[in-house]
Structures are given as structure tokens and as C-alpha cells.
Amino acid sequence: MKKKDQKFKNLINKNYKYQLLENGFSNKDISIGKKVLMSKRITMASHTKNFEIAFAKKLGAKYALMVNSGSSANLLATFAAGNPIKKNCLKRGDEVLIPVLCWPTSIWPLVQFGFKPVLVDVDIKTLNVDLADLKKKINKRTKAIMLINVLGISSDLFEIKKIANKKKIIVIEDNCESLGSKLKNKYLGTFGDYGTFSFYYSHQITSGEGGMVTCNKKEDYDLLFALRSHGWLGGTRFYKRNLKLYNDYAKQNPKLDPRYIFINSGFNLRPTDIQAAIAHNQFKRLDKLKKYRKINRNLIIKKLLTSKKWNNQFKFIVTPKNIDPSWMGLPILVSEKYKNKKQKFINFLDQKGIETRPIISGNFANQPAAKLYKLNEKNIKFNNAQKIQDLGFLIGLHTRKISKSKLDFIHDVFFMIDHI
């Protein structure tokens, strides 16, 4: 085996001493998953529906629809917002504002459906969209805003929703990283016309993969339901559908089998019932998982700030006012003096066994794909997003109280930054 191939293999099989998430599945999660598997009803069924009902109820949304990933949730919500069956849908060429600090599958549905993404800078203090830049970029062509709530916190969503309502702008709220967070006691993900969520492995709850879309209008829910499954009116027998709608289409199309009437275009974004059962079980203990992530965040920050070796090597994001965060990870910025050695430090952490990630994907305007699709033709400088990319990274927050030995390990490795 070539050295280069061996290095890649080692990277894939790396055993981290401090991972993004540790022990993501409880014994009960595994037992429930096995039970569904043995039931021989693996595809989307009663567990999916029960989870959707519980999810909507807890968050205060009228409707919730599970899909197979957070990326699929963004795809579905975006396609619904631009579907011609809606009276005031987004149309090709309409501008959609989106923070430049984003994940690819927040922005690609906008491109794929012919909308024009307009990149907006972020607030360095919160990592979320910069309100001043957002307001500056709203014009008569702006028809939607794709918000991204980063790592458990958000901007002032009440202010953004007020602006959107006044100007009749659709809001899609990508809450994939912030399940369980609240702003003034209202759950993030419920401010927009659509909210999207992810149950990826390192997120607040996990089913390995999985996602959810929320909305408050029945016509939106009916559309999402059809789009999730091939544009199919019938769906699955575990759902009570709108019988009037069903009968109307059946009467209008008497030559078609009424069980298989397709009313729109669509995808297959359905989850499995195994995913739903595991995610639902974790969702029941969301508040507990949220509590331990908060505790561990505070313990790690305190350990570093009170160290004798502390010399402002790192900066931490302060929880914004009125936010009750459900942290997905611990975002960290190295001080400016370490800017040129940040990547070396990230590599060093990896070698020592601390798993890291960029803060989302950094300044997305820098990505080769963004250049390929000319997402920043005017070469606008996004100073805050660039600073976050240059200085920022995140480490995981676990869902059980961190041990003293792991705190000491993080402390000792982090302060080696002065010697790299």
C-alpha cells in the first residue's frame, strides 16, 4: 500500500480520544431499533407518524413531516416554497437571501430550483446572519430568506420575521444544528414558514441519518406530504389523509386507480421506521441531552479560562440575550496572533485525538463549487465570515457529564498551541 493511501486509511479509521459525539445510542435506542427491524415493517409506518405528532406538539408547530436527512428537509421545504401549486410561490430568478456561513445543502436547493441566492455576511459575535447586512440586501426582487441557526443559537428572529411579514417574504428556517433551542421561550425552527431539522450523528438527537420539516398551514403540509413520496396523493395507510382532496382527484380522473394518483412532481425522501423509532426515543430525552451539553460546554470553557496557562489564546461565543441554547458543539476562535498557525493547530488536535470540524463550511463563497456556480460574481468581501473561517473551529459536546480526565486532556492539548 502506498504511503498516501495508508495515511487516508488511518484518517478514516481514526480512534479519537475526544470525539464530536460519544455513545450516541443508548441500549434502549438499540433495542427499539432491533424491535422495529424484527417486526418486518421497516419502511415508513406508525413509528414515523407517532414521532411526527410528538415533534410538532413539543415544538408548538401544527405539522411535522419526517424525511431521511436534514439535507432532504431543506430540499423539500425549498421545493414546496417554489411549487406552482401554490398561489404565491417562488419563481425562477427570484432572489433568496442566505448567510454565507452555511452548509452546502442549505444553498444548493435554491440553485437547483432556479432561484438566485444572495449571500449575506454574519455577525462575528453570534455566527448567525448579520441583521444590518440582511436589511441592506433586501430589495423588490427578494422573495425569500433562508435562515441558518448556527450550533444552537440564532439572530433576532422576531425582528427578521417582522421584516418578512411586512414585505411578504417567505422564510425557511434551517434549524438543523439547533433542535431544542429557544428564543424568548419560542423554539427555534418555528419562526419561519418552514422549519428544517437534522438527526445526523453528532446533532442534538440522532438516528444516524434523518430529518424533519415543520409548517403551520395545512395546504403546506399536504404539499410536503406528496412531494416527500413521489408526488403521490395516497401515501401510506398509516396516515389519515384529506379524504375530500383524495375523492376530488379520484372523480376528476376516473380512469386512474385512485390508490395511485400522482398530483405533483416529487422525490423519495421517506425515512425508515427504524430511524423514526430511534429518533423518537431520543427526542423524549431531548431536555436531558440539552442539559448535559450545556454543562459540558461550561466545564470546558471554565477549565481553559481558569488555567494558569491562559493568555487569551482562544475566544468563545457568548450566549446571545434571550436565547436558551441547545448547543450542538463548542465553537472556538483562536486569537488573531495564531491566525497563521490555526490549520497546524487543527492538525495537531487531530493527531492528539481531539476531533474537530470547521464552523459549518466557513465562508462558502471561497468554496470551489461556489465559484463554479458563480454565487459571488461581484467578489463581495464577507469580512466576518472570513474571520470565522480563518480563526474558527468546533469540538463536540457530549450528552453525558464529561470526566475530569477528559477535561484535563483537552486542557493539556489545547495549551500546546504556544509551542506549535
Contact 399, 292 (CB under 8 A): yes
Place of cell 415493517: 41
Of 203, 230, 280, 398, which residue is the catalytic one?
203
Grid cell locating 177? 444544528
Residues of 274-312 as b/e, b for ≥16 C-beta within 10 angstroms?
Answer: bbbbbbbbbbeebeebbeebbebbebbeebbeeeeeeee
Give the chain's length: 420
Cα–Cα dist 49/212, whole Å: 12
365: closest CA among 357, 355, 375, 352? 375
In 97-216, which ranges are continuous DSSP H helix? 104-112, 131-137, 157-167
Secondary structure element (H or E) that encloses residue 267, with its range? none
Task: State how far the Cα of 205 lies from the Cα of 67, in Å rounded to an integer.
Answer: 15
Is the Cα torsion angle 409, 411, 414, 418 positive or negative in sign?
negative
Instruction: Give the cell for residue 280.
Output: 423518537
203 part of the active site: yes
Known catalytic residues are: 203
